[in-house]
With several copies, the nearest count.
Chain A
């Protein structure tokens, strides 16, 4: 029987179930409970958009509000992960990584290698990402390429509530540091999500829609838009395959390469900025490893090389639309 819940509720449920299963799973972040030290209601916020609302009542010893010191508390989550806990640290917006990157990229990501394989750092860093919220340049970035570039990190960006739950549970159970990016525009999106806990393995892309004429590879919010684009193209008799990467590191290039071998045409869609992007990463790998299968130039669809603008009119033009994606597919079909 279908149980339709939002991605926001899926995140909450995954955290709830994992904290129940394993008392060493703790969560920390700014106002993830809310009202600490204040005179009003306990559990007043549940995070800035209410994602963790109610978890404090169920797991009072596992939910910790933090001061506005991301280096200290993200680093503490990492340190605790090497000392017997499995912390989930919430960085409110991934844009705030600039004040705590060192702990993530020079510490968590490198411990295992630098220490000759002797460390395990099972930490999850959850953060909101993405544009479309009128939140402007410092609260709307994707930044997926930054983390994907860094060896030692795993990078996850789900496109829907079902995947989100399974990937988050996997992230918490995973023994490596995971950057878990939740697109704020997808929180309200709903899917059929089983109540019981389940995991989705990392490095397994999802073929969201099968097709023969061209392959679209993407992730996150762009999955929905790519499917929309595929619907638009269907009307013209064009049959497009849409691949949702789900995890960017590790990345399931096998599925991508197989698809391109079949379709011969590739469009990489990325909400991140274009230079050194996930789109570029995939395009480059395909141009190296499946070149002979390609019948047309690879096309990339991304925002421009510019920060995210505030004004609705600009932001709407900034984020790739189904129309722009469809146009790119049409272009690959010209060859």
Chain B
């Protein structure tokens, strides 16, 4: 049977593996957090995997992304080492930030991952800078900033949209609209009827896609990234999403409608949707996907085991890395 999808099978498998890795990573953190094993604030990305992976499938290491407080998905999709991430979240010396950053500050600049961020909207200016650097250094890299529906009302994001438009930067503004900012609905907090209107107000095109549909995201992202690479400037891309867990671990989620999470798990699960599409098209078999599931499960088990076994950073680390010199 021929492949009706815009990616070859290898890449479809890769996309699935990435999404599944994110999902398992988050599900596992949820369990281990409840057990009291994870320090600090943890914001889980589960439910939104198709957005991160659908976009990141188009990117190279030279392309830059800036992530949010809900950053694990972006990191994994951009290729950050899963074991180093897990160790970081456990605060271990083997973590990708040597234990100094934690969940909210995972970064790997060598892969173009400019950092999760504890400050809403902070990534938008940074990505304008990365896009400017691409322009000035004469390479075709793009910069993508992710932000939530809540953060879409931060001045930094809004200013950056104008900046990117007037400088015609290869920058993309991805609103991950999961309907909530903490417990507050997007309907309460965001005045415009549509993010496309907001894009227009800043002189750039805006597109809204179903963030749960990997292929819709992949296609829309491909188009806006291509435009950016070709010098046609920035775009706003709204991806409609659902958040399976609470705002952060420990959130009782009473602001959600009764049964909302269960409904979303049953009907709005981007992984199930992906599995259904690729198996129904006969491009990938259930057992191929199951095999990936098993590998991912093992990877996460190993990541947790290694994180637990890893040493904590020693006190001599307290004052290193403040300055280059």
Q: Decide if A and B touch, CB cutoff 8 A.
A: yes
The digit string for B169-205, where 1 denotes a CB below 8 A from any CB of A, is 0000000000011111111111000000000000000
The 7 closest A-B pairs by CB, nearest first: A75-B125, A79-B129, A37-B188, A37-B185, A116-B98, A310-B102, A79-B126
Of the candidate stretches A8-16, A211-219, A300-308, the one touching chain B is A300-308
Q: A99-B119, A119-B107 are contacts. A68–B125 as well, Cβ < 8 Å?
A: no
For chain A, the count of residues having a C-beta within 8 Å of the partner chain is: 81
9 extra interchain contacts, Cβ-Cβ under 8 A, other than A82-B129, A102-B122? A99-B121, A103-B126, A106-B118, A107-B117, A152-B322, A175-B325, A310-B91, A313-B91, A314-B91
Complex partner residue of A84 from B101, B102, B133, CB under 8 angstroms: B133
Residues of chain B lying within 8 A (CB to CB) of residue A69: 153-155, 159-160, 162-163
Considering the complex, give the chain B residue whose CB is closest to the CB of A307.
Answer: B322
The digit string for A239-262, where 1 denotes a CB below 8 A from any CB of B, is 000000000000000000000000
Decide if B163 touches A76 in the complex (CB within 8 Å): yes
Considering the complex, give the chain A residue whose CB is closest to the CB of B321.
Answer: A117
Q: A95-B118, A138-B104 are contacts. A40–B258 as well, Cβ < 8 Å?
A: yes
Tell me if B47 counts as interface (CB < 8 A to partner A).
no
Q: A69-B162, A103-B122 are contacts. A115–B313 as well, Cβ < 8 Å?
A: no
Q: A136-B104, A151-B322, A176-B325 are contacts. A68–B122 as well, Cβ < 8 Å?
A: no
Tell me if A312 counts as interface (CB < 8 A to partner B).
yes
Q: A40-B253, A71-B156 are contacts. A313–B315 as well, Cβ < 8 Å?
A: yes
- The distance from the CB of A141 to the nearest CB of chain B, in whole angstroms, is 11
Decide if B119 touches A136 in the complex (CB within 8 Å): no
Complex partner residue of A313 from B115, B253, B312, CB under 8 angstroms: B312
Pick 5 A–B contacts, CB within 8 A, sort by A. Answer: A71-B125, A99-B119, A119-B107, A134-B91, A306-B318
Within 8 A of B (CB), among A291-335: 304-307, 309-314, 317-318
Residues of chain B lying within 8 A (CB to CB) of residue A66: 163
Tell me if A35 counts as interface (CB < 8 A to partner B).
yes
Complex partner residue of A68 from B98, B100, B120, CB under 8 angstroms: B120
Q: A61-B136, A71-B125, A78-B129 are contacts. A111–B183 as well, Cβ < 8 Å?
A: no
Residues of chain B lying within 8 A (CB to CB) of residue A133: 40
Tell me if B220 counts as interface (CB < 8 A to partner A).
no
**Prevailing SS type, chain A contact patch:** loop
Considering the complex, give the chain B residue whose CB is closest to the CB of A28.
Answer: B132
Tell me if B5 counts as interface (CB < 8 A to partner A).
no
Interface size class of B (residues with CB under 8 A): 35 or more
Decide if B188 touches A36 in the complex (CB within 8 Å): yes
Complex partner residue of B324 from A30, A120, A151, A317, CB under 8 angstroms: A120
Residues of chain A lying within 8 A (CB to CB) of residue B312: 311-314
Decide if A102 touches B156 in the complex (CB within 8 Å): yes
- Distance between Cα atoms of A80 and B189 in the complex (Å): 20
Decide if B323 touches A176 in the complex (CB within 8 Å): yes
Residues of chain A lying within 8 A (CB to CB) of residue B254: 35, 40-41, 44
Complex partner residue of B97 from A116, A151, A154, A305, CB under 8 angstroms: A116
- Distance between Cα atoms of A306 and B322 in the complex (Å): 6
Tell me if B287 counts as interface (CB < 8 A to partner A).
no
Complex partner residue of A71 from B92, B155, B189, B253, CB under 8 angstroms: B155
Residues of chain A lying within 8 A (CB to CB) of residue B109: 82, 115, 118-119
Decide if B183 touches A67 in the complex (CB within 8 Å): no
Decide if A85 touches B133 in the complex (CB within 8 Å): yes
Decide if B257 touches A39 in the complex (CB within 8 Å): yes
Residues of chain A lying within 8 A (CB to CB) of residue B183: 31, 34-36, 38, 44-45
Within 8 A of B (CB), among A102-154: 102-103, 106-107, 111-120, 133-139, 151-152, 154
